[in-house]
Structure 1
Amino acid sequence: MAYDSAATRARLLDAAYDEFVRVGLAGARVERIANAASANKQAIYLYYGSKEDLFDAVMADRLRVLADVAPLTADDLPRYAGALFDALVADPGLQRLSQWRALEFPEASEAEIESHIAKAGEIAACYGVSPNVATDLMMIALAAAMAWNNTTARIRNPLGEPEDQRAAAHRQAVVTAVTALTDALTTTPEKTAS
């Protein structure tokens, strides 16, 4: 049987994702990742260089997937927040991976900074606000979308409603909150007076 390096890389990324979500970078073991991917440890070093580089590759891969599933709609931030919420509920591991990233690498990478600047620029242009205000708006939309997975089931659903109904209501609250923020940014004194 012919060796397929693309398939091995894909299996390594999937296995590493599961490992990093479960125990973070510090707790992850290269041997466990290799075993789960039906590969050898040397493949990790050959393709990714180090465990840290593999973590970065997993993070970049999952963020690309997220960007495809929930692309930034700068002119419709409420829709973007709703799409982010849906994506994070569908794959809560992505949020956990991001939390591990923030704990273990508190400084943003140059690529992350460039990505945020570009997104803030799009939002600033759409709403006619400064890049700082656009960045705040983007972070608020992200935080609202992430709040569901950041709380325990008992806190986010204290009355014990069916989980799917409660998730739908929370999603609507996210969209409503981001709509209120964007409306506040786009409302001029002339519009408020009429």
Structure 2
Amino acid sequence: MAWNTERTRELLLAAATEEFSAKGLAGARVDRIAAAAGVNKERIYQYFGKKDELFDAVLAAEMVRVMTEVPITGSGPVAFGEYAGRLFDRHTTDGVLPRLLFWEGLERGGDTVSRATRSDHCAIKVGQVLEVLPGIDRTDAADLLITVITLCDGWPVLPQIDTLLAGSSADRTTRRRAFIVRTATLLAEALAADAKPAPEAALN
């Protein structure tokens, strides 16, 4: 019977995603990933190479998945604020990507592996911000996006800080979401107010 390589890759990625999310890069074990996927651990080296490379593949796949599921669409500051709310909702439901990114930052610091796919998708994401908020500076668009990602990613990985500072009321998630949406909208409004008009608009 022919070996279903694509199915095996999917099983390994799913098992590795769970392992890395829970244990980080250093704490994850290749033998546990292989056992969870139901395959020989040699398949991991065959398909992905070293453990570091498997982690990179997992992270790249998660970034693409979240970007596809939560695009930045619409026009104007309110649309950007709505994006922040949708990203918060996504991470509230599934906090895998925030945990992976925090593990990467803690264990690798600024010396991250810059895969072409990750760099390309980050550039696309900044481009989406520029489409929603035309005329703002590209660096400002990147800073705005980093701010929202930090706010939303912090929710599933810093629950203890949130509880200590804000308590644990029944409506806490709703209030936090509203605050993030408001913050993102206000920041976008400030940048839009300072945006340079398009060349054709300036001539009218």
TM-score range, shorter chain: 0.7 to 0.9
2:169 corresponds in structure 1 to 161
Aligned-partner Cα distance in 1 for 2:28–2:103: 11
Call closer, same or farther: CA 1:35–1:52 in 2, change over 3 Å. Answer: same
Aligned-partner Cα distance in 2 for 1:57–1:91: 18
Matches within 5 A, 1:1-194: 3-73=3-73, 75=75, 76-105=79-108, 106-108=110-112, 109=114, 111=116, 112-125=118-131, 126-149=133-156, 150-152=158-160, 154-155=163-164, 157-158=166-167, 160-162=168-170, 165-187=171-193
Give, in angstroms, the shift of residue 35 of structure 1. 0.5
**Amino acid corresponding to residue 132 of structure 1 in structure 2:** T
- Relative to structure 2, which stretch is displaced further, 62-71 or 106-115? 106-115
Aligned-partner Cα distance in 2 for 1:107–1:69: 28
- Give the gaps of 5 or more residues in structure 1: 189-194
- What is the RMSD computed on CA atoms of the aligned residues? 2.1
The structure with higher relative contact order (CA 8 Å, sep 6+) is 2
Give, in angstroms, the shift of residue 92 of structure 1. 1.5
- Relative to structure 2, which stretch is displaced further, 1-10 or 25-34? 1-10
1:77–1:141 contact (8 Å) kept in structure 2: no
Give, in angstroms, the shift of residue 93 of structure 1. 2.3
2:129–2:141 contact (8 Å) kept in structure 1: yes
1:73–1:79 contact (8 Å) kept in structure 2: no
- Give the gaps of 5 or more residues in structure 2: 195-204
Percent identity between matched residues is 36
| Offset from partner CA, 1:93-115 (integer Å, 9 cap, x none) | 22111111122232341534443
